[in-house]
Amino acid sequence: AQSVTQPDIHITVSEGASLELRCNYSYGATPYLFWYVQSPGQGLQLLLKYFSGDTLVQGIKGFEAEFKRSQSSFNLRKPSVHWSDAAEYFCAVDGSNDYKLSFGAGTTVTVRA
């Protein structure tokens, strides 16, 4: 079975500082990996995804993520956080190529001025 762990429930970061959100997955083979962002009361927006190829994936809004097979990780990063990045971030895995996603518990990001 596939599963995702996001170790950090809540992260507070200063505006302009860098951000890294951790994601570890459990799956036998190389899964499809996703990062979604959810603003309060809003739906899920896809930030980026990894299927294969280059392990450093660029996404929208200046986010990137790196797939590390040896660590079973897919951490999300942003060099300089903006106040509008305050939201909840979900890492998700799909091991069967059918969009039956398993989500992590989410990490809430608070941005302070």
Partner 1 sequence: AAGVIQSPRHLIKEKRETATLKCYPIPRHDTVYWYQQGPGQDPQFLISFYEKMQSDKGSIPDRFSAQQFSDYHSELNMSSLELGDSALYFCASSLGGRYNTEAFFGQGTRLTVV
User: Which residues would be at the binding site for partner 1 (CB under 8 A)?
Assistant: 32, 36, 42-46, 49, 51, 90, 97-106
d(CA 77, CA 113): 19
Instruction: Kindly state the smallest distance separating residue 96's Cβ from partner 1, in Å.
Output: 8
Write the DSSP string, 4-49.
Answer: EE---SEEEEETTS-EEE--EEE-SS--EEEEEEE-TT--EEEEEE
Cβ at position 86, least distance to partner 1 in Å: 17
Smaller CB separation from partner 1, 54 or 98: 98
Cβ 51 to partner 1 shortest distance, Å: 7
The vertex-90 CA angle with 84 and 96, nearest 5°, equals: 140
Residue type, 102: S
Q: Which is nearer to partner 1, 49 or 77 (CB)?
A: 49
What is the sign of the dihedral through the CA atoms of 80, 83, 88 and 90?
negative
Least distance CB 39 / partner 1 (angstroms)? 10
Cβ closest to partner 1, residue 10 vs residue 18 = 10
